Amino acid sequence: MYLGDYLDTFKTSCKELSDFAVANGVDICFENTEAPPYLQRAFEEVVKHSGLWLTFDVGHDAADKARVKDTFFRTPTKIKHFHLHDYTNGKAHGEIGTGSIDIKNYFQFCKENNLSVVVEVKSKPELQRSVEFLMKIV
């Protein structure tokens, strides 16, 4: 499938999903994982529709060399949800405060924009320590 065909199909799908979301009073969120340029263009289509939103996953973006951050943050009012975790040595979903992600700035962004946040780590002790870290920076 060629890029033009993909984007045309994606636009049609966004319209159908938007109609469904609005008619049923639900929000549909698209989360970043890897974001090659064609997916960045697809995310730009998502923000044009009612009922369609973005979920920004900070660790996935770090793993993808921050390729999608600018695309998402151009329309911060379309970011509905955040997955917050740290990134270390090529691995996402790490305990908050132990890796390379600027957690404080992202958390501040979430507070300023009244976003829902999921702390997405692997174990109960990591979750407890992550919450303790967040409580110290608020």
Pairing of strands 91-94, 86-88: antiparallel
- 57 SS3 class: strand
Mean pLDDT, the chain, integer: 93
Per residue in 72-112, pLDDT (tens digit) is 999 999 999 999 999 998 899 999 999 999 999 999 999 99
Local confidence band at 1 (pLDDT 50, 70, 90 cut-offs): low
Local confidence band at 2 (pLDDT 50, 70, 90 cut-offs): confident
pLDDT over 90, % of the chain: 80
Return all residues near 114 (Cβ < 8 A) that are at least 6 apart.
none
Class of residue 37 by CB neighbours under 10 A (exposed 0-12, middle 13-18, buried 19+): exposed
- For the whole model, what pTM was predicted? 0.90
Closest CA to 99 of 132, 70, 127, 59: 59
